Structure 1
Amino acid sequence: MEFVKEEREENKRIKHEEPETRRIKHEKQGEFVEEKEENEESSEIEVKNHFKTGGKPSHCDRRFSHPSLLKRHERIHSGEKPYKCSHCDKRFSHSSSLKKHERIHTGEKPYKCSHCDKRFSVSSNLKMHVRIHTGERPFKCSHCDKRFTQLANMKKHERIHTGEKPYKCSHCDKRFCDSSSLKRHEMIHDGKKIQCSNCEKRFNNSSNLKTHKMIHTGDKLYKCSHCDKRFSQSGNMKIHERVHTGEKPYKCSHCDKRFWNKSNLKTHERIHTGEKPYKCSQCDKRFCDSSSLKKHERIHTGQKPYKCSHCDEIQ
């Protein structure tokens, strides 16, 4: 605990001396840059505290304004992780990373959305979620006019233009532009897939199989917090709960209309784009949604599924 106390006290002192986001002069260029906190979870350590004065690490040329910042940085080189989770064996270089991790165990979600009742364990997730309500898409593709709420989604999209496929299958030479497509593909090679005992569907892990089996068993573990309705999948429960909360997070990019779920938004946007992906198997007529196609095809089949409860008339 002495590590936590020491770092906390030092952080207080630094905070008192300088603003939270400190503007510092770059050693070589003489320009001001933002000093960012080191984060062991990010793929690239963004430490830009390059000073002429202050501590210099023994492993690299970076310089720091305070001994504590130098000490924090040097843990990257030494691999030292003095902060241990009190719930599991995971260790961390920084107390802030430990605090963030421990919320997984405690279930603490201190960051609440100002537009709905949704809560988050980390502020960055709240920031991304709020964009659903505001419609803000700060990340624009450098090749076309498409905009995105998340940087990762923009990068994935840009690979359509560049043709870049950084994810290579470990079993064959096939390459993919995103990790989820690679994962789906690698299941073809994986001979240890678990098959559902009720149907021929196969799964790469037992948890996915368990969720799927609820369709057959009728188990509905997820109960709506507003009414007695139950669901076999948490995703379906979340969509249903929006009926109670009035939350419509999906906004049309062409007009002001908003929707409970993504599929309804997708169907609606086809009115604007003119896209009609559903083609009749009997004629050349096309439709923007599957229900309209189904309704139309009854003209050809003569099917009349709706029977009057008072007489024998079928419509």
Structure 2
Amino acid sequence: MAFIKEESEDVKIEETITVKQEDLQEQTDLIEENEGSKVEEHHVKIEEKTHLQTDDILKRGDKNSFTCTQCGKSFGRKGYLKIHMMIHTREKPFTCTHCGRSFGRNFGLKIHMMIHTGEKPFTCTHCGKSFSQSSHLNQHMRIHTREKPFTCTQCGKSFSRSSHLNEHMMIHSRKKPFTCTQCGKSFGRNFGLKIHMRIHTGENPFTCTHCGKRFSQSSSLNQHMRIHTGEKPFTCIQCGKSFKQSSSLYNHKKIHTRGKPLHPVWKDL
């Protein structure tokens, strides 16, 4: 059973260098939703007694490329290859001063910092909702386009996000390999376990800049922020009424269906 990972559009770093997003995804943890997933394509076991020095594993290919001796991937600049090597060395020198999370690239830290600063530079042209990452905006746009490109090979059900498909696949596999050592509760994803552990540790790394209230998840902070901003991003396509939470919209739709189960098309609208 293969889980699907979404691909993001190319990201340009202006004035200095241009880096393809597909390279960035190998080097940067996806925030919240994909946190905890393992790098599959270039997973390398490193013996404890050997410290892998980046300069020792750089190999010059042709005159225009530098090749990684661990996985064979080539790059146009030596600097790009050194950044790539952090996948193999697992080096994460860039650390968030707010929550302590570390990243292999400064770019990854900058993206992560938007969680704490609340910066959301990518805005939906349909409804005005803003996001911290272009990939999150792309996911959101499928609400408007009704696109569901991720299909379950077991039952044929389709989803707008790969993460939704991954969660759905647990129904078929019923595997929950990640278990809490404190209470024994199990989860299908390591990310779910990490979120759960904050119940035991009391960790609340996400803080509201308006009132100081703290939350264990960024999604909970985002919901809370709507109290201050008055934002109601979830709109009923039947009557135009808007809501602060998707669950409120879901319950509202039953008014139009007279309490009957919602058609699958409605669930993503």
Q: Shorter-chain TM-score category?
A: 0.5 to 0.7
Equivalent position of 1:41 in the other structure: 29
The answer on whether the counterparts of 1:141 and 1:158 sit within 8 Å (CA) in structure 2 is yes
The answer on whether the counterparts of 1:249 and 1:259 sit within 8 Å (CA) in structure 2 is yes
The answer on whether the counterparts of 1:52 and 1:63 sit within 8 Å (CA) in structure 2 is no
Unaligned runs of 5+ in 1: 1-6, 22-34, 191-203, 212-219, 223-232, 277-315
Equivalent position of 1:132 in the other structure: 143
**In the aligned structure 1, how far is the partner of 2:211 from the partner of 2:194?**
31
Q: Deviation at 1:71?
A: 1.8
The answer on whether the counterparts of 1:133 and 1:249 sit within 8 Å (CA) in structure 2 is no
The counterpart of 1:64, out of the listed 71, 74, 78, is 74
Q: 1:105 to 1:162 in 2, by over 3 A?
A: closer
* 1:174-193 mapped onto 2 (5 Å cutoff): 175-177=186-188, 180=192
Q: 1:141 to 1:94 in 2, by over 3 A?
A: same
Q: 1:258 to 1:97 in 2, by over 3 A?
A: same
* 1:56-135 mapped onto 2 (5 Å cutoff): 56-58=67-69, 60-66=70-76, 67-81=78-92, 92-104=103-115, 106-135=117-146
Query: Percent of aligned positions with the same letter in both sequences?
Result: 29
The answer to whether 1:234 aligns with 2:224 is yes
**In the aligned structure 2, how far is the partner of 1:88 from the partner of 1:186?**
13
**In the aligned structure 2, how far is the partner of 1:114 from the partner of 1:57?**
41
Structure 1 vs Structure 2 CA RMSD: 4.8
CA offset digits 1:144-191 (Å, max 9, x no partner): 24322221121111211222222323256664445658976996xx6x
The answer on whether the counterparts of 1:168 and 1:174 sit within 8 Å (CA) in structure 2 is yes
**In the aligned structure 2, how far is the partner of 1:10 from the partner of 1:221?**
38
The answer to whether 1:262 aligns with 2:268 is no
Q: 1:248 to 1:63 in 2, by over 3 A?
A: closer
**In the aligned structure 2, how far is the partner of 1:45 from the partner of 1:8?**
30
Structure number with greater Rg is 1
Task: Name the SS for the 1:56 alignment partner.
Answer: strand
CA offset digits 1:217-245 (Å, max 9, x no partner): xxx969xxxxxxxxxx7277389643xxx
The answer on whether the counterparts of 1:171 and 1:186 sit within 8 Å (CA) in structure 2 is no
Q: 1:258 to 1:136 in 2, by over 3 A?
A: farther
The answer on whether the counterparts of 1:39 and 1:45 sit within 8 Å (CA) in structure 2 is no
**In the aligned structure 1, how far is the partner of 2:239 from the partner of 2:145?**
11
Q: Deviation at 1:69?
A: 2.5
The answer on whether the counterparts of 2:94 and 2:104 sit within 8 Å (CA) in structure 1 is yes
Structure number with higher relative contact order (C-alpha < 8 Å, ≥ 6 residues apart): 2
Q: Deviation at 1:97?
A: 1.7
Equivalent position of 2:10 in the other structure: none
Q: 1:175 to 1:9 in 2, by over 3 A?
A: same
Equivalent position of 2:34 in the other structure: none
The answer on whether the counterparts of 2:27 and 2:84 sit within 8 Å (CA) in structure 1 is no
Q: 1:102 to 1:186 in 2, by over 3 A?
A: closer
Aligned residues: 205
The answer on whether the counterparts of 1:36 and 1:46 sit within 8 Å (CA) in structure 2 is no
Q: Deviation at 1:40?
A: 2.8
The answer on whether the counterparts of 2:235 and 2:249 sit within 8 Å (CA) in structure 1 is no
The answer on whether the counterparts of 2:179 and 2:193 sit within 8 Å (CA) in structure 1 is no
Unaligned runs of 5+ in 2: 1-12, 31-37, 43-59, 213-222, 263-269
Q: Deviation at 1:64?
A: 0.9
